[in-house]
Amino acid sequence: MTGQNVLIFVIVALIAVVAGIMIAFAPGETVPGEKASPLDAMSALATEVAGQIDGDAMAALKPGDESTPAFAAIHDRLNAFRSQHPDIIYIYTLQRTGNAVEYVVDADYGNAGARAIGGGHQVVDPKTPLFAGFEKPSAEVYSAIYGYAPVKNGGMVCLEPEGPIAQERLEALAVEVAGQIDGDAMAALKPGDEETPAYVAIYDRLNAFRAEHPEIAYAYTMRKAGNTVEYVVDADYGSDDGVAIGDGYTPTAIDGVLLRGFEKPSAEIYSLICGYAPVKSTSGAGVGMVAVEVGNPITEERLKALAVEVAGDIDGTAMAALRPGDENTPAFTAIRDDLNAFRDATPGVVYVYTMRKTGNATEYVVDADYGNGDAPAIGYTYVPTEEDAAFLAGFEGPSAEPGFYVDDWGNETATVLTGYAPIRDAVGTIVGLVGVDMGIVHES
């Protein structure tokens, strides 16, 4: 995932899902015996740093003030806070004008891809948690899908789909368009070459490819430049969302999949957990907002670990005894409540459910969403196919699907990566499995 696009789209395309993050608090910051909800924890983190910012000084900053002591003081405060909380990837302050927001102090100012005062001006839906952050603490999860493939001698191409798509399909599309790009011509492009025939040829190719594949919303090429990565040709160059040659950013610890795209096809569901809180003047008036973002990796290893975690919380003996029609029993309700508590406490989990084998088929037992919409009841049958190796392996030990995929169920469509782990009864016998889906539920 590109840093510049994170900073743009986290403002205009935040996707709210049930999410959370574990954050350590000092003694006295939570009520004894209670666990702060994950979103509340992110809001609290943003509130903490917001209270350390001089709101009067921030309100007085204007474009061009990046070298002033007032800017430097806030910039240093943000970076010190990030150093104290190493999970933080991005931290910055924003101000609003009407329904638009723009940067004031970016902790990364001075590095590639960071915003100056007044940068990143975007119109925001007033109903979003981000906009609410100007008035009160709030939090949410941003998730997006990216596919990458190397361009021979030139760098790589990045595709961002607009809706549901499987990893295999997205990687194949990235490989396809990468093969249509003149890597030597791309490598020779320098800042200011946006009007040259070489640039226009690649620009036109990206736009033609996007027109041929309407599921692709954004297409652009990138290359390495020392310790940074930079944009080369953006299919949206010339629009408000477009970037010029040489714009870029410094990769962070969560950009491993993106960097892999310079070597081979790769794709990811990229996710950040974002907390917001208002910055106030000495009189108590709101003058802006601080945003804090932490990484929320959606990987096979993490999915397996999460599945093992929730499997250990499930009463396997009680689950094994459940039969169709038992959906209103205390045993069913207890397991469903455990699944929902896990989902509420875990960033990016959209579905969680248990299943068991029955002859040559499998069946659902407890779905966290039972009672809402089209969630399956006890006994709903699923017959595995030859593509279900990871699913079947989950009855024996922790496993995960090898890539994200599109899941259609009822009126919902999601792009998810799934992990599984066996559920055991009181004597250790495997009685089923739990499935944990992380990803994006797409708007219908």
**Residue 283 confidence (pLDDT) above 80:** yes
Quick: pLDDT tens for 305-361: 999 999 999 999 999 999 999 999 999 999 999 999 999 999 899 999 999 999 999
Distances (CA, A) of 227 to 89, 91, 254, 370, 402: 17, 20, 15, 49, 30
Higher confidence at residue 249 or residue 74? 74
The CATH fold assigned to 3-144+271-295 is: Beta-Lactamase (3.30.450)
Instruction: Identify the three-state secondary structure at position 67.
Output: helix
**Residue 2 confidence (pLDDT) above 80:** no
**Residue 15 confidence (pLDDT) above 80:** no
Cα–Cα distance for residue pair 175/189, rounded to 1 Å:
21
Distances (CA, A) of 108 to 112, 172, 360: 8, 34, 56
**Residue 176 corresponds to which tokens in the numbers above?**
């396809």
Quick: pLDDT tens for 172-197: 999 999 999 999 999 999 999 999 99
Helical H segments across 124-194, by residue range: 129-132, 167-178, 183-188
Please, which residues bridge with residue 289 across strands?
94, 278
Higher confidence at residue 5 or residue 247? 247
Strands 399-400 and 88-97: unpaired
Q: Are 47 and 168 in contact (CB under 8 A)?
A: no
Task: List for the chain the helix, strand, coil content (%; round to 5).
Answer: 30, 30, 40
Instruction: Identify the three-state secondary structure at position 40.
Output: helix
Encode 380-401: b = buried (16+ Cβ within 10 Å), e = exposed. Answer: eeeeeeeeeebbeebbeebbbb
Work out the percent of the chain whose per-residue pLDDT is above 90.
81
**Residue 296 confidence (pLDDT) above 60:** yes
**Residue 382 confidence (pLDDT) above 70:** yes
Residue 36: band (very low, low, confident or very high) from pLDDT cuts 50, 70, 90? low
**Residue 6 confidence (pLDDT) above 60:** no
CATH homologous superfamily for the domain 300-442: PAS domain (3.30.450.20)
Q: What radius of gyration, in Å, describes the C-alpha atoms of the chain?
A: 24
Instruction: Choose the weakest-confidence range: 366-375, 385-394, 426-435.
Output: 366-375
Work out the percent of the chain whose per-residue pLDDT is above 70.
92
**Domains of the chain: which residue ranges?**
3-144+271-295, 147-266, 300-442
pTM of the model as a whole: 0.85
**Residue 143 corresponds to which tokens in the numbers above?**
């998730």
**Residue 58 corresponds to which tokens in the numbers above?**
């921030």
**Would the CATH topology of 3-144+271-295 be identical to that of 300-442?**
yes
Cα–Cα distance for residue pair 156/181, rounded to 1 Å:
10
